[in-house]
């Protein structure tokens, strides 16, 4: 009987010792509170805003030639602030587009346009159609770029969080770390320490 209790005590001791090598982390909370995740989210929001501004600008200026559209695109998407000359050029391109739009509206209302007016009407209509097609393609391209950046950002954050969890676990000699969603109870929560570790970088 004494041997039984000694064996039970030894088993209990081993179980308790083993329990100390387990920990949990609230992975979702770490992601939400990690500085790198907040920074990446801010950058993505700014990028999305730039894309939206570009698309709205091009949508408002459909009557542009290919080179004019490319020039406008280049200035708006530039990483640096536009120079005075570039700002003036954007204003000129925008004004030209608006002038053409007014001419097109006038031509469309004419019941019997002249041959010259018919040519102008056809030219402006083709320009408008081409711009809409280019805008649709650009919108798809920008959306794909945004999704790619989002995917890379998520992967970057997950990698840094996992590295921080591994570093904290090694320091505490913890062999297994679970997500809190997979564990009903554990008094060895490493979440706060992981957040501090990842935010030190």
Interval 70-100: pLDDT, tens:
888 888 877 788 889 988 998 999 999 999 9
CA dist 1 and 175 (Å) reads: 34
Which stretch of 13-27, 102-116, 137-151 has the lowest confidence by average pLDDT? 13-27
pLDDT at res. 92: 93
Q: Mean pLDDT throughout 148-177? A: 94
pLDDT at res. 6: 39
CA dist 41 and 132 (Å) reads: 30
What pTM, to 2 d.p., does this model score?
A: 0.72
Do 157 and 37 touch, CB atoms closer than 8 A?
yes
CA dist 6 and 57 (Å) reads: 80
pLDDT at res. 9: 40
Please check the confidence at residue 115 and state whether its pLDDT lies above 80. yes
CA dist 42 and 37 (Å) reads: 9
Give the closest residue to 34 by CA, choosing from 24, 45, 22, 26. 26
Please check the confidence at residue 12 and state whether its pLDDT lies above 50. no
From the centroid of its chain, how far is CA 23?
Answer: 32
pLDDT at res. 5: 42
Give the closest residue to 192 by CA, choosing from 22, 36, 26, 32. 26
Q: CB-based contacts of 167: which residues, under 8 Å, 6+ apart?
A: 197
Please check the confidence at residue 15 and state whether its pLDDT lies above 80. no
CA dist 68 and 102 (Å) reads: 18
pLDDT at res. 157: 93
Please check the confidence at residue 167 and state whether its pLDDT lies above 70. yes
Query: If you average pLDDT over every residue of the chain, what do you get?
Result: 87
Task: Specify the higher pLDDT residue, 75 or 193.
Answer: 193
pLDDT at res. 10: 41
Q: In Å, how far are 8, 16, 19, 176, 187 from 12, measured between CA atoms? A: 6, 6, 10, 19, 18
pLDDT at res. 82: 84
Task: Specify the higher pLDDT residue, 19 or 186.
Answer: 186
DSSP state of 153: H
pLDDT at res. 155: 95
């Amino acid at each position: 009987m004494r041997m039984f209790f000694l064996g039970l005590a030894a088993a209990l001791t081993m179980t308790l010792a083993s329990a100390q090598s387990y920990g949990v982390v609230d992975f979702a909370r770490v992601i939400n509170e990690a500085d790198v995740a907040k920074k990446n989210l801010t950058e993505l929001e700014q990028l999305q805003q730039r894309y939206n501004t570009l698309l709205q600008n091009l949508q408002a200026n459909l009557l542009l030639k290919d080179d004019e559209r490319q020039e406008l695109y280049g200035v708006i998407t530039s990483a640096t602030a536009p120079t005075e000359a570039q700002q003036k050029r954007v204003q000129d391109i925008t004004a030209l587009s608006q002038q053409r739009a007014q001419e097109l509206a006038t031509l469309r209302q004419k019941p019997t346009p002249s041959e010259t007016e018919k040519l102008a009407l056809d030219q402006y209509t083709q320009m408008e159609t081409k711009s809409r097609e280019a805008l649709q393609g650009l919108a798809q391209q920008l959306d794909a770029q945004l999704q790619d950046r989002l995917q890379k950002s998520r992967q970057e954050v997950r990698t840094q969080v996992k590295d921080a969890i591994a570093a904290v676990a090694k320091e505490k000699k913890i062999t297994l770390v679970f997500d809190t969603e997979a564990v009903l109870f554990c008094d060895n929560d490493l979440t706060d320490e992981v957040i501090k570790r990842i935010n030190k970088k």
